[in-house]
Amino acid sequence: MLGLMMDAPLLIPSILEYAAKYHPNTEIVSRNEDHSLHRYTYAEALVRTRKLANALNRLGLKAGDRVATLAWNNYRHLEMYYAVPGAGMVCHTVNPRLFKEQIEYIINDAQDQYIFTDPCFAPLVEAMIMNLPSVKGVVVMGSREQMPGNILHRALCYEDLLVAESPVFEWPQFDERTASGLCYTSGTTGHPKGVLYSHRSTVLHAMAINQPGLFGFGPDETVMPVVPMFHVNAWCVPYAAPLVGARLVLPGPRLDGPGLLEVIRGEGVTVSAGVPTIWMNLLNHCAQTNQSVAPMRRVVIGGAAVPQVLIDGFAAHQALAVQGWGMTETSPLGAVSVLDTRHDDLPAEDRMALQLKAGRSPFGIEMRITDAEGKALPWDGKTRGELEVRGPWVASAYYNLDDRDQFTKDGWFRTGDISTIDADGFMNIVDRVKDVIKTGGEWISSIELENLALQHPSVREAAVIARADTKWSERPRFILALHPGKTITGAELRKVVEPFVARWWIPEDFIVVDEIPHTATGKILKTALRELYGVENHPDAQKM
């Protein structure tokens, strides 16, 4: 017997329609490439988005066609987020930080029909366009004055497209499982892999992250996604904020400490989301200029392990730093480290230990850890295994790729993370399968060592890699980037590490570098570090 309830599909444009109807005057503030601010309301955004949907149809795009974007966090990109999937096409957000060859591969793999680009990325598109046979045209997301010349002289102007269109558009109704968005992994090993989201998965994910205790946006808040809109749909923030009528601030391309603080203070941002590197730069700027992050009162941090210095740093500004974990394949929310009343009486040290874990899965995500044979392991906080997840916003396959090894026969996604899960469900990532260090057959967690190194005031960023070792096969090695003008000795580094780990975990040496390389999504590129510094006896290594 089925229930007698209406079967209304969960479709993305319904979010913006809701925001425009019930929060019509709430602002969307967007910082342009020239650092000027653009302001309009949800009601005005809906009108322009409907006009854009009409323009997409006039360009000859059909249901299922992929439309690429190369753009920062701005209001035109937001309009693409709704108009493209709303009209039945697939919004393919392309990461402009990738290598040119990777971007060409991604666009060709997706068979994108059009590219919509910010003016600042026009030179990049010019350099690639002859190698993109599926692309029928380019639209520059700016005004007539911002149009480029050279080989893109025949590109279309975004604002010209919208002016010619009607503000009336009837959103088509279709199966909520229809593809809505496409995002590729950063491709640290091999080619990037495409993750194809659906309307259903996106709307459910937006509803999930708005739960109290997760991102928990409210209509009285000003939300700023610092995580780029080309990276996993900006963690779904551009969908979750309108869903509750929150004021939305899009910071554009300037994401340095001074640039972010200017927007936070100027626009009254109360909650934000981004990767650790961004927030470390912000806190360093605040310390150097003796300023506060107020009125920001909480920040969601993901993309890499969150060190204690970051949590403590925001706490000093009366702001709560919340660690989240996820992947492109999980839309991305997979876990959030939020404490509850059971933890109120814990000593501060134990509370911090929980905050430093990746967290518990929200309703909608199941997780387990397994051994090499796929057997589920106990949740005792000590046993380590590969983390696997499943749920309605988790990928079931890759786009255009048969990669069955990434998925189990019983329907779980293999994350590649080595993790523990405690009795309360708090998951802790101790390493990546490909980054784990094995000494004499025993595992060493590079993440734990990195977090300890960051406790030293001279250390700006830390990575731990496996170096070759004649006796043990592998040993850990610190790669450190220091704050300007600072130094560190082996004895000082050992002092911050030694009290917290087994003696055989402690590296014998370390290397100081000017900068640690990162992937296009801000994660430490350990493949490059291993190539540069993985030999047993490196000339730049200093003894600990």
Region 406-415 average pLDDT: 94
For residues 297-324, b (16+ Cβ closer than 10 Å) or e, as one string?
A: ebbbbbbbbbbbbbbebbeebebbbbbb
Q: Could you give the count of Cα atoms lying within 13 Å of 284 in the half-sphere of its Cβ?
A: 16
Specify the pLDDT at position 335: 97
In sequence order, which residues have a C-beta less than 8 Å from that of residue 273 and are 6 or more positions away? 215, 224, 225, 226, 227, 234, 235, 237, 299, 300, 301, 302, 324
Residue 305 is assigned to a structural domain of this protein:
no
Dihedral angle of Cα 462, 466, 467, 473, to the nearest 10 degrees: 160
The pTM of the full predicted model, rounded to 2 decimals, is 0.86
The one catalytic residue in 104, 188, 370, 443 is: 443
Q: Place 526 in a pLDDT band, splitting at 50, 70 and 90.
A: confident
Region 3-20 average pLDDT: 97
Region 386-390 average pLDDT: 97
d(CA 194, CA 398): 6
Residue 522, phi-psi category: left (phi > 0), alpha (psi -120 to 50), beta (remainder): left
Q: Place 501 in a pLDDT band, splitting at 50, 70 and 90.
A: confident
Q: Which stretches of 254-377 are assigned E, i.e. beta strand?
A: 271-274, 298-301, 320-326, 333-337, 366-370
pLDDT of 384 over the 70 cut: yes
The one catalytic residue in 329, 386, 388, 474 is: 329
Residue 517 is assigned to a structural domain of this protein:
yes
pLDDT of 502 over the 70 cut: yes
Q: Place 430 in a pLDDT band, splitting at 50, 70 and 90.
A: confident
The tokens for 101 are 């060859």
Specify the pLDDT at position 190: 65
Q: Which of 141, 174, 207 marks a domain boundary?
A: 174
Q: Can you say whether the dihedral through the CA atoms of 21, 25, 27, 32 is positive or negative?
A: positive
- pLDDT tens digits, one per residue of 136-169: 999 999 999 988 877 677 899 999 999 999 999 9
pLDDT of 331 over the 90 cut: yes
Residue 100 or residue 177, greater confidence: 177
pLDDT of 539 over the 70 cut: yes
Specify the pLDDT at position 432: 78
pLDDT of 323 over the 90 cut: yes
Percent of the chain with pLDDT over 90: 82
Distance of CA 454 to the CA centre of its chain: 22
The one catalytic residue in 178, 185, 420, 519 is: 185
Specify the pLDDT at position 189: 53
Mean pLDDT of the chain: 93
- pLDDT tens digits, one per residue of 178-201: 999 999 987 555 688 999 999 999
- H/E stretch holding 202 reads helix 199-209
Residue 147 is assigned to a structural domain of this protein:
yes
Specify the pLDDT at position 504: 87
Asked which of 158-162, 218-222, 450-454, 499-503 is least confident by mean pLDDT, the reply is 499-503
Q: Which one-letter DSSP state was computed for residue 360?
A: B
Q: Which domain holds residue 44?
A: 37-174
Q: Which of 125, 145, 174 marks a domain boundary?
A: 174
For residues 269 and 222, the answer to whether their CB atoms sit within 8 Å is: yes
- Determine the residue type at 393: W
Domain count, the chain: 2
d(CA 172, CA 371): 46
Can 49 be counted among the known catalytic residues?
Answer: no
Specify the pLDDT at position 201: 98
Residue 148 is assigned to a structural domain of this protein:
yes
Can 101 be counted among the known catalytic residues?
Answer: no
CATH number, domain containing residue 469:
3.30.300.30
CATH number, domain containing residue 111:
3.40.50.980
In sequence order, which residues have a C-beta less than 8 Å from that of residue 532 and are 6 or more positions away? none
Region 25-29 average pLDDT: 98
d(CA 326, CA 329): 8
Residue 18 is assigned to a structural domain of this protein:
no
For residues 420 and 371, the answer to whether their CB atoms sit within 8 Å is: no
DSSP for 115-166, written as a single string = EEE-GGGHHHHHHHGGG-TT--EEEESS-GGG---GGGTTPEEHHHHHHTS-
The one catalytic residue in 62, 382, 438, 495 is: 438
Residue 400 is assigned to a structural domain of this protein:
no
Asked which of 189-203, 429-443, 486-500 is least confident by mean pLDDT, the reply is 429-443
For residues 85 and 180, the answer to whether their CB atoms sit within 8 Å is: yes
Q: Which of 157, 174, 191 marks a domain boundary?
A: 174
For residues 260 and 288, the answer to whether their CB atoms sit within 8 Å is: no
pLDDT of 522 over the 90 cut: no
Region 357-367 average pLDDT: 96
Asked which of 42-46, 71-75, 378-382, 469-473 is least confident by mean pLDDT, the reply is 469-473
Can 51 be counted among the known catalytic residues?
Answer: no
Specify the pLDDT at position 312: 95
- pLDDT tens digits, one per residue of 67-114: 999 999 999 999 999 999 999 999 999 999 888 888 999 999 999 999
pLDDT of 441 over the 80 cut: no
Q: Place 229 in a pLDDT band, splitting at 50, 70 and 90.
A: very high
Residue 288 is assigned to a structural domain of this protein:
no
Alpha-carbon distances of 284 from 267, 271, 330, 460, 485, rounded to whole Å: 21, 19, 31, 10, 14
Residue 85 is assigned to a structural domain of this protein:
yes
Can 72 be counted among the known catalytic residues?
Answer: no
Alpha-carbon distances of 106 from 145, 202, 317, 329, rounded to whole Å: 30, 21, 41, 16
Q: Could you give the count of Cα atoms lying within 13 Å of 142 in the half-sphere of its Cβ?
A: 20
